[in-house]
A and B are shown apart, each in its own frame.
Chain A
Amino acid sequence: MTRPSGSVPIPSRCTILVQPMSTQLTIPATTPGRFGPYGGRYVPETLMVPLFELERVYELAKADPAFQARLQDLLKNFAGRPTPLQFAARLTAKLGGPRIYLKREDLLHTGAHKINNAIGQGLLAVKMGKPRIIAETGAGQHGVASATVAAHLGLQCTVYMGTEDMARQALNVARMRMLGAEVIGVESGSRTLKDAINEAMRDWVTNVRTSHYLLGSVLGAHPYPTMVRDFQAVIGREARAQILEAEKRLPTHLYACVGGGSNSIGLFYEFLKDADVKLVGIEAGGRGNGLGEHAARLAAHQGFTGARPGVLQGTYTYVLQNEDGQIAATHSISAGLDYPAVGPEHAWLADQHRAEYAAVSDQAALEAAQLLSRTEGIIPALESAHAIAGLIERLPQFKPSDLVILNLSGRGDKDMDTYTRLLGKLT
């Protein structure tokens, strides 16, 4: 796999003039909150002290047995951990490739991995004495998880959601409201996840003394990318132990979809030291390679245009943008993957070739969702369906002895409108 780095311009098929990479920041990899040159803390001054406070409280909580006991209790008895690692016998037989295991995060309370992080940060909000949480949501899964945790812990909750996403994930909007959260539609920009984050940050900067921003992915300013990863790393810890018990060996490949990148880094993190385990992140290829048609930030090698290192919403990472540094519109059938930047740790894993990234189309994801439904009896979220489609597209590269863990990050109830509307077009 080839990746843009240093002086190599990203191959471009459209008229966008790609700047030389001389804009890359020169920052030592050892700075806290940095993954190589990526990450950092690019926020208005008003948020700096709250970010330091969050970092401090989080570091204390990591070493606080009472906090950890409460976290473990909620993960087990409220969320339903550990989740199963299920051998996908009929999918494996149908594809005729590697042995495939599914990490069943879709079975968690609220229906996706997002609850792992929401519980952790909800407890931190309580510890900081903040009575209110603010969250953004794309597919609605993080919004539902935040609203759920807020209700469980007795916190107020406001969720920002692009109106485009509210329309396509109506079930989740209804769930958040049932749980007592205030859902505020965001009309600015592309009316999707990016715009919801802008609006959530505006709320946070205004109400910073009383509110905690419960960011839902490995995005934003330090400590969020590290902290959210740590809360999600339980996925990989469980999966590693489970596969060793079931197969007496490590997997050869891990597959996960990558929007901001929290379910994927959650699965990958425990395996980073296992050099023989290939980590594969699947992005949203949308409906074409041109800027505005996709949300593929790390798949320039497939001809997807417009990604360069830049700063968006607090962090330095690969960002889809035009030559003037204006953030590009994105497209994906999946609201949870429809975002122009990617978690900074993924940017670093990509540059280091420790993980590889590829994108699949809307259509491939839809077909994969139907396949999983009919072979395994599991309707996946559209996000997770991208990971399945990515595996299917790479079948020729597998050996029969290969062993895959695929993170089934969420269930598909929320996507039934989309499936119903588009399944008729499937063969």
Chain B
Amino acid sequence: MTVPLTTRIAKHFAELRATGELGIVAYITAGDPTLHATCDYALALAEAGADVIELGVPFSDPLADGPTIQRASERALKSGTTLAGVLALVRQIRQSSQVPLVLFSYFNPILQMGLERFAAAAAEAGADGVLVTDLTPEESAEYRRILQAHHLDTIFLAAPTSTDERLVKIAACSSGFLYVISRTGVTGAKDALPDDLPALLRRARSFTQLPIAVGFGISLPGHVSVLGGLADAAVVGSALVSEIEKAASPEAAATALRARVRALKEAARRGLSRREATP
């Protein structure tokens, strides 16, 4: 599948590759605790240097998520967040920022809006790509056809259990970037990265030229500094959602998010300088 170099995601990853710096993909759940707050948070993340922002569409049954994002989804649904509301949020963010925006959803809310209606509205609002947690290449033909027609990147997940054959298929269906799950399990911050992660990333790399973002369990600057050279970006989600959950006010949350992303970006740059020092 050809990657149109004109998408914000592709363009941004090309720039990152030119510098050799690891990108930071920042996930937050849209509508947690309100859509208005999410807009502020997204702009704060972008200002602090997040390279891509993933907006989670809350779902009642988030079976791929750990407790942190489960609670965020509950808060977002409680405040009345809908997929249509998330698309309005995208439009609002887009008025102030050109940061690449990816919608991260379960399939059912998109299916109920209707694939065509969703894709048209998402593209029109200014979204750049879509990742559906419970949709694999096998079930996605109609979805990919429709999203591609609207010039939306289709990002698929690769997992430690994916065979070589599947990695090829997943990469072929993906555009923008390939999202590699670091470990078997649900989303959530962990202390250490799995030992077999470098091998998984090298295996994925051998099958695709697409940028590779690695996620699940990444929260600390130390995680980020070891990923340089193995991946193009690290996805940080539950750690950011935790900051939102424990902050005393929306302002405090925005400040904490900025600090988190700055620390991660700093680690990414340190990782870069270390690589340059030790070729």
Contacts and interface: CB of A to CB of B under 8 A. Distances in A.
Contacts of B135: 42
Interface string B29-71: 0000000000000000000000000000001111110100010
Interface stretch (A147-155, A170-178, A307-315, A409-417): A307-315
A77 interface: no
Interface string A296-331: 000000000000101111100001010111110000
Interface of A: 19-20, 22-23, 25-26, 40-50, 188-189, 194, 197-198, 201-202, 205-209, 308, 310-314, 319, 321, 323-327
Contact of B107 (A19, A22, A42): A42
B134 A311 contact: yes
Contacts of B114: 19-20, 22-23
B171 to A, nearest CB: 12
Contacts of A26: 142
Contacts of A208: 161, 184
B108 interface: yes
Contact of B108 (A22, A49, A321): A321
A294 to B, nearest CB: 17
Contact of A46 (B61, B106, B109, B161): B161
Contacts of B181: 44-46
Given A189-B60, A194-B61, A311-B134, A325 B185 contact: no
A324 B112 contact: yes
Contact of B157 (A25, A45, A207, A326): A45
A43 B138 CA distance: 11
B161 A198 contact: no
Contact of B161 (A49, A189, A313): A49
Contacts of A327: 60-61, 108
Interface size class of B (residues with CB under 8 A): 35 or more
B139 interface: yes
Given A42-B135, A202-B186, A23 B111 contact: yes
Nearest to B160: A46
A45 B132 CA distance: 10
Interface stretch (B162-170, B244-252, B257-265): B162-170
21 contacts: A23-B114, A23-B115, A25-B142, A40-B139, A42-B107, A44-B133, A44-B181, A45-B156, A46-B185, A47-B161, A48-B162, A50-B161, A189-B60, A205-B185, A206-B184, A206-B186, A308-B112, A312-B108, A319-B108, A325-B109, A325-B113
B208 interface: no
A208 B161 CA distance: 9
A49 B112 contact: no
B235 interface: no
Nearest to B84: A324
Given A42-B136, A44-B157, A47-B161, 5 more contacts: A43-B136, A46-B161, A48-B166, A314-B134, A326-B59
Interface string B131-166: 001111011001000000000000011111111001
Contact of B63 (A40, A198, A308): A198
B107 A326 contact: no
B161 A321 contact: no
Contacts of A20: 114
Q: Which 9 A-B pairs have the closest CB atoms?
A: A325-B112, A325-B109, A46-B159, A206-B185, A45-B157, A45-B159, A326-B60, A325-B108, A324-B82
Given A48-B162, A49-B163, A188-B70, A42 B139 contact: yes
B83 interface: yes
Contacts of A188: 70
B67 to A, nearest CB: 9
B112 A48 contact: no
B142 A45 contact: no
A276 B134 CA distance: 40
Given A40-B139, A42-B107, A48-B136, A201 B63 contact: yes
Contacts of A323: 112
B26 interface: no
B212 interface: no
Contacts of A194: 61
B233 interface: no
Interface in B74-128: 77, 82-84, 106-116
A310 B64 CA distance: 18
Contacts of B83: 324-325
A44 B64 contact: yes
A49 B166 contact: yes
Contacts of A206: 184-186
A212 to B, nearest CB: 14
Contacts of B163: 49
B91 to A, nearest CB: 18
Contacts of B170: 45
Contacts of B186: 202, 205-206
Contacts of B138: 41, 48
Contacts of B185: 46, 205-206
A311 B59 CA distance: 12
Nearest to A328: B60
B136 A45 contact: yes
Q: Which of A22, A40, A45, A308 has the most CB of B within 10 A?
A: A45
Contacts of B63: 44, 197-198, 201-202, 205, 313
A47 B64 CA distance: 11
